[in-house]
């Protein structure tokens, strides 16, 4: 039955083309300015064809947000050979910020936009946010390791992990959603990187204080 196999292949091919077109458009123009009709026109199919491969618009952007997580993992994977968990934690916060600024639209989709989360609560009823869970798990693992080596003594690893995430997410999302105009022009350059340094400094001093 190689005909069925070829058809399956062609179906996947078209799905890939839809996603590719969607990605290009949304990276150029952002999520809200990317319509099903735009995507369809780009791949030279009718708009309704897209619905044969994706449930709805949110479903497309859920798939794209998955690609974003693969990209984020590439940034983080490199840090897995940092032996000291505390050094690794600091490297994670820096890499996370770098990822966000180098892939703004992806970051927006993954952590700010409501669209991919809508896809979860609608279609995949009762399904969990696996991508988020996995990425958070990596942070959680490192924080837990830190605690087991005497850092952050007595703190809840999950809440502390969330707090670390929050701190860097705050920087990235204020930057991406254009709220940094309150900062003087001189400080706006490298603002995110500098704020990231302060966060790592805070983590460091927290540690220094505890071991004294």
Partner DNA sequence: ATAATTTACTTTACACCGTTAAGTAAATTA
Partner DNA sequence: TAATTTACTTAACGGTGTAAAGTAAATTAT
**Of 47-86, which residues contact its own copies (CB under 8 A)?**
none
Asked if 179 interacts with its own copies (CB under 8 A), we say yes
User: Which of 41/123 has CB closer to its own copies?
Assistant: 123
| Helix (H) or strand (E) segment spanning residue 11 | helix 2-29
Going from the C-alpha of 70 to that of each of 38, 83, 192, the distances in angstroms are 25, 23, 23
Asked if 179 interacts with DNA (CB under 7 A), we say no
Gap between the Cα atoms of 8 and 29, Å rounded: 31
Residue 165 tokens, joined? 């995430």
Q: Which stretch binds DNA (CB under 7 A): 16-24, 40-48, 62-70, 101-109?
A: 40-48
**Of 13-52, which residues contact its own copies (CB under 8 A)?**
32
Q: What is the DSSP string of 117-168?
A: HHHHHHTSTT---HHHHHHHHHHHHHHHHHHHTTTTTT--HHHHHHHHHHHH
Asked if 48 interacts with DNA (CB under 7 A), we say yes
Q: Which does 47 bind (CB under 5 to 8 A by kind): DNA, its own copies, none?
A: DNA
Kindly write out the interface string for residues 127-146 of this chain, putting x where it contacts its own copies by CB under 8 A and - elsewhere.
-xx--xx--x----------
Judge contact between 66 and 131, C-beta under 8 A: yes
Gap between the Cα atoms of 64 and 145, Å rounded: 32
Three-point CA angle 57, 132, 196, nearest 5°: 110
Residues forming the site for its own copies (CB under 8 A): 32, 111-114, 117, 128-129, 132-133, 136, 155-156, 158-160, 162-163, 165-171, 173-174, 177-184, 187, 191, 194-195, 198-199, 201-203, 205-206, 208-210, 212
Residues forming the site for DNA (CB under 7 A): 1, 3-4, 6-7, 10-11, 14, 34-38, 45-49, 51-52, 56-58
């Amino acid at each position: 039955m190689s005909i069925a196999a070829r058809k399956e292949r062609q179906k996947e091919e078209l799905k890939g083309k839809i996603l590719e077109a969607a990605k290009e458009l949304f990276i150029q123009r952002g999520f809200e300015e990317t319509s099903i009709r735009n995507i369809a026109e780009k791949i030279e199919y009718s708009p309704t064809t897209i619905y044969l491969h994706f449930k709805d618009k949110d479903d497309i952007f859920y798939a794209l947000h998955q690609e974003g997580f693969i990209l984020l993992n590439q940034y983080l994977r490199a840090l897995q050979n940092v032996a000291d968990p505390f050094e690794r934690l600091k490297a994670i916060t820096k890499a996370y910020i770098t990822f966000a600024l180098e892939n703004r639209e992806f970051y927006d989709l993954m952590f700010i936009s409501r669209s991919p989360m809508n896809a979860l609560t609608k279609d995949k009823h009762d399904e969990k946010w696996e991508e988020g869970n996995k990425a958070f798990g990596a942070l959680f693992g490192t924080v837990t390791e830190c605690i087991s080596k005497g850092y952050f003594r007595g703190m809840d690893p999950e809440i502390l992990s969330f707090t670390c995430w929050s701190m860097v997410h705050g920087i990235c999302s204020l930057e991406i959603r254009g709220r940094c105009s309150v900062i003087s022009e001189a400080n706006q350059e490298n603002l995110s990187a500098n704020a990231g340094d302060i966060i790592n400094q805070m983590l460091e001093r927290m540690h220094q204080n505890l071991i004294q």
